[in-house]
Amino acid sequence: MTEKKKITPDKNPMPAQDPVERAGNFHEVALGYSEEAAVAEANRCLQCKKEPCRQGCPVEVDIPAFIKLVARRDFKGAIKKLKEKNALPAVCGRVCPQENQCEKYCTLGRKYEPVAIGRIERYCADWELANGALPQETSSPNGKKVAIVGSGPAGLTCAADLAKMGYQVTIFEALHIPGGVLMYGIPEFRLPKAVVQAEVQSLKKLGVDIQVNAVVGKFATVDELMGEYGFDAVFIGAGAGLPHFMRIPGENACGVYSANEFLTRTNLMKAYLFPDYDTPLRIGRKVAVLGGGNVAMDAARTALRLGAEESWIVYRRSKNELPARHEEVEHAEEEGVRFKFLTSPTRILYNDAYWVTGMECLQYELGEPDESGRRSPVPIKGSEFTIDVDTVVVAIGQGPNPLVPRTTKGLACNRRGNITADLETGATSLPGIFAGGDVVTGAATVILAMGAGRTAARAIDNYLTGK
Amino acid sequence: MYKVLKKEILAPSIKLFEIEAPLVARKAMAGQFIILRIQDQGERIPLTIADFDREKGAITCVFQEVGKTTRELGTLDEGDCVQDFVGPLGVPSDIDNYGRVVCVGGGVGVAPVYPIARAMKEAGNEVIGIMGARTAELVFWEDKMRAACSELRVTTDDGSYVRKGFVTDVLQEVIQEKGDIALCVAIGPPPMMRAVANLTRKYNLKTVVSLNSLMVDGTGMCGCCRVTVGGETKFTCVDGPEFDGHLVDFDELARRAVIYKPQERTALDLYNEKGGHKCQCGCGGE
């Protein structure tokens, strides 16, 4: 540290759309820092010697360095520094749970609010989007080919790293547009799709070839990619695409959606713009979203924007145990999402036409902590009651998509169907086949998947160069 | 982009497209389906594969114009492209030498049953084909089916061609005549498949049906296509599209098929208003 400066105790506030207004539109909620706010926030950084923030970043961004450049208004330098380690800064600046990562370790955070690292990161990424992408440095081609299965955060990161090292990278994406969960799952109001596509474009500039409409396991198996397609290694980042249902009576009634379907129709297929876009979505008056994670918050907030009069989160534990980010819960509350805690449905009620008319639920109380450390919910006998809803969204989690594991002989998986991979390298039971992200860990965060993509890229390089 | 190599009008509102998709054609098998999206604002619709040409790198689909998307698809000409085309999806038909197999195609279902009949015959089965249509002008692919089957019987609901009767009437006759039948494959409108399943249940004749559920991604990601089979929830896209006809909950299937009826109506009306309806069948957009 060079000079003593006066530190403001709180983060520079993030301007946001008014809650009432935004609950009626799909525009981005958080509006981003102005240049002044970004520089002021960067100046809150102590530039401390220990740099504890760096240990909290799964993709190893040199956080103090890029913040220092922002403080000097060298935004070009800052984004360059960020992109050395992070291929998707505009995405991470928006959806990373920084409070559990970099900002959790910030020295300033011991006394005051930590530096708003995520918001500064977003400012830099948006600065680049507004001012034209900078050229990126790559190594000369090394003649080796790597296939990436899936274009979500894990695949995109792995592809970017390998392309920079000189590999010829092809991404195979099952859907018609790259981005994976960034496109189909996370709503427009949290992560504008144009931002995701800008990041994808920047990947294409690195020379990465992206094949959409290509379902690995169908048009070609992983073995065939390694054989007749001539790839030297394959990275599987196929995500957690298999929706879990409650397995309760009435769950196939009309008006019951998996969160995946509800969000895919809205985000990927733009059902909120029907009939300008062809994909429909039927939203009722009263929507119940089952679950308490970020996906549940996304679904409940989406339901309001689609015109639901009431949008309820129905969660079997209490508010303290909600796995969603605090900020997401807060945003949902501000917008008018309501919560029914310690409640879980036992069956879904429907009419003669098979449409949802309500949900029979049980009241729960909290018992002893379970293996996750959270107090486990225990049903209260005889506490059945009915909630009047006409749409139910099941957001209790996703499993790994089985298409790739099912069609790859000898690929070891655990009992849940997740691909077994060494977390240090991403190596699977098959030589040359690596895996990472949700398909290995089960549904987690964007940044953890990116970290796994990075790890695997390094391991693939080691594998192919015989290190 | 995926080019339309060939377009044929098989019957009023029933069209055939051969679409260039070499990677799909390489792997396509009887019983599988594809998903296509015409343009950027379009929806993804599943169509069962009616034929494939590996050398030419082409997939043949036959569809009936019912809603906005199929109408719009019908306006494309040879040389035009669809934006997205993905496959082959779903599990292929279980082709084996069973002995004697009956392949029933109703309406536009004749198209997807054709490659199954052909594969069954190639596998050594005696294949008895039954194809039915509402009326004479809706009959198509009789010649192809005749070539694919060991024996073909044709019927029309109104008796305007060959004979009067439903496919179930013909099936009943075949069962009584031949007795020993190992497998029945039936593809057509859900009420037809249900009627076939109800009939064959009496004879304990194993029956496979191919479901055309609503879908979004077609890769097991959304669960839109879920259907109850033997008391268990299955996804048509990855567990099917073929299931044991005796175990399918056809009531549920029928109700889930009309979830978006009002929206489909809106989309179609809007499309027709904008002058999108260009078919020359004289249906006036209905």
Q: Is the pLDDT of residue B86 over 90?
A: yes
Residue B200, domain member (yes or no) = yes
Task: Assess whether B141 and B236 both reside in one domain.
Answer: yes
pLDDT for residue B285 = 43
Region A222-232: what's the mean pLDDT?
Answer: 96
Q: Could you tell me if A252 and B228 are in contact, meaning their C-beta atoms sit under 8 angstroms apart?
A: yes
Task: Assess whether B75 and B125 both reside in one domain.
Answer: no
Instruction: Return the residue matching tokens 């003593």.
Output: A4
Instruction: Return the residue matching tokens 């959270």.
Output: A374
**How far is the C-alpha of B199 from the C-alpha of B207, rounded, in Å?**
10
B interface with A, Cβ–Cβ below 8 Å: 23-24, 26-27, 37, 41-44, 68-69, 83-89, 216-217, 219-224, 226-228, 233, 238, 251-252, 255-256, 259-260, 263-264, 266-267, 270
pLDDT for residue A444 = 87
Q: Is the pLDDT of residue A5 over 70?
A: no
Residue B49, domain member (yes or no) = yes
pLDDT for residue B280 = 47
Task: Assess whether B137 and B76 both reside in one domain.
Answer: no
Task: Assess whether B225 and B129 both reside in one domain.
Answer: yes
**How far is the C-alpha of A168 from the C-alpha of B164, rounded, in Å?**
62
Residue type, A386: T
Average pLDDT over chain B, rounded to an integer: 94
pLDDT tier for residue A181 given thresholds of 50, 70 and 90: very high
pLDDT for residue A3 = 53
Query: Which SS3 state, helix, strand or coil, does residue A214 take?
Result: coil
**How far is the C-alpha of A8 from the C-alpha of B164, rounded, in Å?**
87
Task: Assess whether B148 and B213 both reside in one domain.
Answer: yes
Q: Are strands A209-211 and A168-172 parallel, antiparallel or unpaired?
A: parallel
Q: Could you tell me if A290 and A394 are in contact, meaning their C-beta atoms sit under 8 angstroms apart?
A: yes
Chain A residues touching residue B270 (CB < 8 angstroms): 275
Q: Which of A100, A91, A93 is nearest to A120 (CA)?
A: A93
Task: Assess whether B138 and B234 both reside in one domain.
Answer: yes
A interface with B, Cβ–Cβ below 8 Å: 174-176, 184, 212-215, 218-220, 241-243, 245, 247, 251-252, 254, 257-258, 260-261, 264-265, 269-270, 273-280, 282, 353-354, 401-403
Region A431-460: what's the mean pLDDT?
Answer: 93
Q: The domain spanning residue B75 has which CATH number?
A: 2.40.30.10
**pLDDT tens-digit profile of A148-165?**
999 999 999 999 999 999
Total structural domains within chain B: 2
By percentage, how much of chain B surpasses pLDDT 90? 94
pLDDT tier for residue B282 given thresholds of 50, 70 and 90: very low
Query: Smallest CA–CA separation between B104 and chain A, in Å?
Result: 27
- B171 Cβ contact partners less than 8 Å away, ≥ 6 residues apart: B102, B104, B130, B184, B196, B199, B200
Task: Assess whether B220 and B108 both reside in one domain.
Answer: yes
Residue B264, domain member (yes or no) = no
**How far is the C-alpha of A39 from the C-alpha of A123, rounded, in Å?**
10
For B131, the domain range is 100-257
* pTM of the shown model: 0.93
Residue B147, domain member (yes or no) = yes
Residue type, B227: V
Of A216-225, A435-444, B132-141, which gets the smallest average pLDDT? Answer: A435-444
pLDDT tier for residue B284 given thresholds of 50, 70 and 90: very low
Task: Assess whether B108 and B245 both reside in one domain.
Answer: yes
- Cβ separation of B221 and A274 shorter than 8 Å? no
Residue B239, domain member (yes or no) = yes
Average pLDDT over chain A, rounded to an integer: 94
Task: Assess whether B33 and B122 both reside in one domain.
Answer: no
Backbone dihedral angles phi then psi of residue B45, each to the nearest 5 degrees = -125, 140
Region A30-52: what's the mean pLDDT?
Answer: 95
**pLDDT tens-digit profile of A242-289?**
999 999 999 999 999 999 999 999 999 999 999 999 999 998 899 999
Of A294-308, A366-380, A434-448, B110-124, which gets the smallest average pLDDT? Answer: A366-380
Query: Which SS3 state, helix, strand or coil, does residue B224 take?
Result: coil
Residue B106, domain member (yes or no) = yes
Task: Assess whether B146 and B241 both reside in one domain.
Answer: yes
Q: Which of B60, B85, B63 is nearest to B74 (CA)?
A: B63
- Smallest Cβ distance to A402: which of B86, B220, B255? B220
Task: Assess whether B132 and B203 both reside in one domain.
Answer: yes
Q: Is the pLDDT of residue A427 over 50?
A: yes
pLDDT for residue A1 = 46
Domain termination site, one of B63, B89, B115: B89
Task: Assess whether B109 and B245 both reside in one domain.
Answer: yes
Q: Is the pLDDT of residue A225 over 50?
A: yes
DSSP labels, B129-194: EEEEESSGGG---HHHHHHHSSEEEEEETTSSSS-BS-HHHHHHHHHHHH----EEEEESSHHHHH
Of A363-377, A453-467, B79-93, B206-220, which gets the smallest average pLDDT? Answer: A363-377
Query: Smallest CA–CA separation between A355 and chain B, in Å?
Result: 9
Residue B48, domain member (yes or no) = yes
Q: The domain spanning residue B142 has which CATH number?
A: 3.40.50.80
Residue B94, domain member (yes or no) = no
- What does the block give as tokens for B137? 């002008």
Q: Which of A13, A101, A26, A8 is nearest to A298 (CA)?
A: A26
pLDDT for residue A374 = 80
Q: Is the pLDDT of residue A337 over 70?
A: yes
Angle between helices A446-465 and A153-164 (to 10 degrees): 40
Q: Could you tell me if B69 and B56 are in contact, meaning their C-beta atoms sit under 8 angstroms apart?
A: no
Q: A121: how many CB neighbours lie within 10 A of its CB?
A: 29
Q: Which of B242, B234, B251, B137 is nearest to B194 (CA)?
A: B251
- Smallest Cβ distance to B263: which of A242, A247, A280? A280
Chain B residues touching residue A261 (CB < 8 angstroms): 216, 222-224
Most A CBs within 10 Å, among B86, B214, B261, to test the A interface:
B86
Instruction: Return the residue matching tokens 């029979």.
Output: A360
Region A103-125: what's the mean pLDDT?
Answer: 95
Q: Is the pLDDT of residue A406 over 70?
A: yes
Q: Which of B59, B63, B68 is nearest to B32 (CA)?
A: B59
Region A201-208: what's the mean pLDDT?
Answer: 92
**How far is the C-alpha of A435 from the C-alpha of A420, rounded, in Å?**
8
**pLDDT tens-digit profile of B227-268?**
999 999 999 999 999 999 999 999 999 999 999 999 999 999
**Which residues, listed in sequence order, are joined to residue B152 by a DSSP beta bridge?**
B129
Q: Could you tell me if B102 and B130 are in contact, meaning their C-beta atoms sit under 8 angstroms apart?
A: yes
pLDDT for residue B286 = 43
